[in-house]
């Protein structure tokens, strides 16, 4: 039955050359620099776009063929999941809070990535990166759509899935962290965008986001998330390669590019790592069945894999980002500090929180022998005692935010985990606060950019976060209730503790109904 | 020497691919994780079209790898016959 494969008419390399390079042209009635106005202002010097190499050499026809196959596989699984009440197969409905965080915090970034790569593709004068950026742009909108589609099944059954991807990203305090990360990259030029998103985020950090997250979803029985995750991830290798090629290309084109590129790597590695705090918290606290700790994932994917990458880039003069020393300290703290923050602000969050149980605390002690028992266990025990007495602790003071990463000032000094770290800068007669040396450095380098930050806490205090027509002078005005209304968080349903939530009760009842005849 | 890696979804499509990679790269190490199979190798990893074709009994285009690919690390060099990942340092 086996048929001899037809010898292809064109090899991969020739085909790619014809289908990409061969399609480009020089303009005639407008000068090239007017057609590509963003190509030079960042100071990056490119002499020969023909030197751009795309190792995947994917052409548009092959692209459509493989993407269509990925979609068919994905939707077959999503149908099966929905038809078979797959949501009852997850370990525990607590897990869904990690998914809510993903839908509200990550899926909207896919959409911004779509826009950003479309813009980069438009703005690069070279045809090689234009084609690669076009494909990535289409991939990214596919990611946004398939994620929202896959998770819409949960919206039929559980709280907190109703407004995430479109409405809440513009409003909720903690979502401004991932949002501003992408917006700040998008509002830079096309080369900086490529270093920020294509290289630092996709190559250096994306494995820390997707691989543990998707393995975690698999471990916790969430077939829908595993499947869209893997489907998105199958595009990721191509994105990572684009980021790496882009950086090599910039460095090979002109020695003057090195300091600019290094500055961007330092800046965007730090910004990306700050955003990933949310992932660390998810891995250490939100998965009922854990895959590995944040610290372990950091060691595999950043220290080992990132180490290999930076060794390779050393020949161009690129150095490991200077935040690495602080990160080595932070890896033992940030997930705990983040979860402690969400526990205190569970009334203002679009997902449920809980205190780790005894078994989970033992797991944390084993994974974080240097820090958990010393700094964090006592805090949880204290909160447990208070909750048992009916005095569940909520923090009703709005926190100061970092002007750059927009995370509340909850991180500690690198040399003293009992002391909150904050830094101060003066600019045009105003004081600005940042959470770390890394963020202060970024602020001081571009204050005119970061003073424009839309900081959720400031905006609440300025009265910008209430539904239209709210009268703050009215009798009995409750600012927090109005903010939640504006967030589209249903107080008492979407927020507060998992213990006693509708999700908890419904999951128990439905799973009971699925396994018994009564 | 730095480690390169490639990871695929665990499924029927990737089983013969993983087998081929392990056969062609004796220094490679298999790491099986939930729903994912990762292959780590010092320095470099080569994926050969012919080895995969021998196992699946049909012609195979190396770009089909992308359907089940999860992640990789290393510089890529791909042509019609082989796909190589390497850190050259
Ligand atoms: Fe994506
Ligand atoms: Fe910060």
Domain boundaries, chain B: 3-86
Measure Cα distances from B30 to B9, B16, B18, B41 in Å. 13, 14, 9, 9
Measure Cα distances from A329 to A404, A413, B28 in Å. 21, 10, 32
Taking an 8 Å Cβ-Cβ cutoff, which residues of chain B contact chain A?
Answer: 2-5, 7, 9, 33-36, 53, 57-59, 63-64, 66-80, 87-89
- pLDDT-wise least confident of A96-105, A201-210, A237-246: A201-210
User: How much is the pLDDT for A3?
Assistant: 55
Closest residue on chain A to B87 (Cα)? A312
Q: How confident is the model at residue A5 (pLDDT cuts 50, 70, 90)?
A: low
Give A-chain residues touching B87 at CB under 8 angstroms.
308, 311-312
User: How much is the pLDDT for A54?
Assistant: 79
> What is the average pLDDT across A137-146?
95
CB-CB under 8 Å, A8 with B70: no
User: How much is the pLDDT for B89?
Assistant: 60
Closest residue on chain B to A7 (Cα)? B59
> What is the average pLDDT across A174-196?
96
Q: How confident is the model at residue A489 (pLDDT cuts 50, 70, 90)?
A: very high
pLDDT tops 80 at residue A122: yes
Q: How many CB atoms lie within 10 A of CB A109?
A: 23
User: How much is the pLDDT for A304?
Assistant: 85
User: How much is the pLDDT for B71?
Assistant: 86
- pLDDT-wise least confident of A13-27, A251-265, A500-514: A13-27
- pLDDT-wise least confident of A204-218, A392-406, A454-468, B34-48: A204-218
> What is the average pLDDT across A186-197?
96
pLDDT tops 70 at residue A4: no
Give A-chain residues touching B76 at CB under 8 angstroms.
55-56, 241
User: How much is the pLDDT for A7?
Assistant: 56
User: How much is the pLDDT for A8?
Assistant: 54
Is residue A242 a contact partner of residue A250, using CB atoms and an 8 Å limit?
no
Alpha carbon distance A407, A358 (integer Å): 29
For the ranges A80-84, A303-307, A444-448, the maximum mean pLDDT occurs at: A444-448
pLDDT tops 60 at residue A272: yes
CB-CB under 8 Å, B79 with A12: yes
Alpha carbon distance A444, A264 (integer Å): 14
The SS3 assignment for A430 reads strand
Residue bearing the bigger pLDDT, A480 or B34: A480
Give phi and psi for A104, each to the nearest 5: -85, -30
pLDDT tops 70 at residue A471: yes
> What is the average pLDDT across A23-44?
91
Is residue A465 a contact partner of residue A454, using CB atoms and an 8 Å limit?
no
In chain A, what are the domain boundaries?
58-332
Express as a percent the part of chain A with pLDDT over 70.
Answer: 98
Alpha carbon distance A499, A94 (integer Å): 9
Residue bearing the bigger pLDDT, A208 or A122: A122
The dihedral region occupied by A86, where left means phi > 0, alpha psi between -120 and 50, and beta the remainder, is alpha
In CATH terms, B3-86 corresponds, of 3.40.1080.10, 3.30.9.10, 3.90.56.10, 3.40.50.300, to: 3.90.56.10
Pairing of strands B36-42, B3-9: antiparallel
User: How much is the pLDDT for A422?
Assistant: 93
Helix axes A107-123, A127-155, angle to 10 degrees: 160
Look up tokens 């690390």; give the residue: B73
User: How much is the pLDDT for A15?
Assistant: 81
What average pLDDT does the structure give for chain A? 92
Segments of chain B with pLDDT less than 70: 89
For the ranges A126-130, A203-207, A407-411, the maximum mean pLDDT occurs at: A407-411
pLDDT tops 70 at residue A227: yes
| Residue in B34, B68, B79 nearest the CB of A234 | B68
> What is the CATH number assigned to the segment(s) A58-332?
1.10.620.20
CB-CB under 8 Å, B63 with A58: yes
pLDDT tops 80 at residue A2: no
Ligand 1 center–CA A369 separation, angstroms: 35
Taking an 8 Å Cβ-Cβ cutoff, which residues of chain A contact chain B?
Answer: 2, 5, 8, 11-13, 55-58, 62, 66, 69-70, 73, 206-207, 210-211, 214-215, 218-219, 226, 230, 233-238, 240-241, 244, 291, 304-305, 307-309, 311-312, 314-315
CB-CB under 8 Å, A66 with B34: no
CB-CB under 8 Å, B34 with A311: no
Query: CB under 8 Å, gap of 24 or more: what pairs does A411-419 form?
Result: A411/A330, A411/A333, A411/A334, A411/A337, A411/A435, A411/A436, A412/A333, A412/A337, A414/A325, A414/A326, A414/A329, A414/A330, A415/A329, A417/A333, A417/A371, A417/A375, A418/A375
> What is the average pLDDT across A65-75?
91
């Amino acid at each position: 039955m086996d048929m001899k494969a037809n010898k292809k008419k064109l090899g991969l390399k020739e085909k790619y050359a014809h289908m990409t390079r061969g399609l480009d042209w020089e303009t005639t009635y407008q000068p090239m620099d007017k057609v590509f106005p963003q190509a030079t202002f960042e100071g990056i010097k490119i002499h020969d776009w023909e030197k751009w190499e795309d190792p995947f050499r994917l052409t548009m026809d092959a692209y459509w063929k493989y993407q269509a196959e990925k979609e068919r596989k994905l939707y077959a699984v999503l149908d099966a999941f929905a038809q078979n009440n797959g949501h009852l197969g997850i370990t525990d409905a607590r897990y869904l809070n990690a998914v809510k965080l993903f839908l509200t915090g990550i899926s909207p970034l896919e959409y911004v990535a779509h826009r950003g790569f479309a813009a980069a593709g438009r703005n690069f004068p070279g045809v090689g990166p234009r084609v690669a950026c076009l494909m990535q742009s289409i991939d990214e909108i596919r990611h946004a759509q398939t994620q929202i589609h896959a998770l819409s099944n949960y919206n039929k059954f559980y709280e907190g899935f109703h407004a995430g991807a479109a409405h809440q990203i513009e409003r909720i305090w903690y979502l401004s962290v991932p949002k501003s990360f992408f917006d700040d990259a998008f509002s830079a030029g096309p080369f900086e965008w490529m270093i920020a998103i294509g290289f630092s985020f996709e190559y250096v950090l994306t494995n820390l986001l997707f691989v543990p997250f998707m393995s975690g979803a698999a471990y916790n029985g969430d077939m829908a998330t595993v499947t869209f995750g893997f489907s998105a991830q199958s595009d990721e290798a191509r994105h990572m390669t684009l980021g790496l090629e882009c950086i090599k290309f910039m460095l090979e084109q002109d020695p003057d590019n090195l300091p600019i590129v290094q500055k961007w790597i330092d800046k965007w590695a730090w910004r990306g790592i700050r955003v990933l705090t949310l992932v660390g918290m998810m891995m250490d606290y939100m998965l009922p069945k854990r895959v590995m700790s944040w610290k372990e994932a950091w060691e595999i994917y950043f220290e080992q894999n990132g180490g290999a990458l930076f060794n390779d880039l050393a020949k161009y003069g690129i150095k490991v980002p200077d935040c690495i020393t602080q990160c080595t300290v932070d890896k033992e703290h940030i997930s705990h500090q983040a979860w402690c923050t969400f526990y205190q602000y569970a009334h203002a969050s679009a997902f449920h929180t809980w205190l780790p149980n005894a078994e989970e605390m033992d797991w944390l002690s084993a994974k974080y022998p240097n820090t958990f028992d010393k700094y964090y266990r006592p805090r949880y025990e204290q909160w447990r005692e208070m909750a048992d007495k009916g005095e569940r602790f909520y923090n009703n003071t709005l926190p100061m935010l970092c002007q750059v990463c927009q995370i509340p000032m909850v991180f500690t000094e690198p040399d003293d985990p009992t002391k909150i770290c904050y830094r101060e800068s003066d600019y045009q007669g105003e004081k600005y606060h940042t959470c770390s040396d890394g963020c202060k450095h970024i602020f001081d380098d571009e204050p005119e950019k970061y003073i424009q930050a839309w900081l959720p806490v400031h905006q609440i205090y300025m009265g910008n976060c209430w539904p239209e027509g709210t009268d703050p002078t009215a009798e009995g005005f409750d600012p927090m209730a109005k903010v939640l209304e504006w967030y589209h968080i249903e107080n008492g349903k979407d927020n507060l503790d998992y213990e006693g939530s509708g999700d908890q009760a419904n999951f128990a009842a439905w799973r009971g109904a699925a396994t018994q005849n009564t | 020497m730095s480690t390169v890696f490639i990871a695929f979804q665990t499924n029927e499509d990737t089983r013969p691919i993983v087998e081929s990679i392990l056969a062609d790269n004796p220094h490679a190490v298999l790491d099986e994780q939930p729903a994912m199979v990762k292959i780590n190798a010092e320095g470099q990893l080569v994926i050969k079209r012919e080895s995969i074709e021998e196992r699946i009994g049909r012609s195979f285009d190396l770009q089909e790898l992308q359907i089940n690919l999860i992640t990789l690390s290393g510089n890529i060099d791909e042509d019609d016959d082989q796909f190589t990942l390497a850190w050259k340092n």
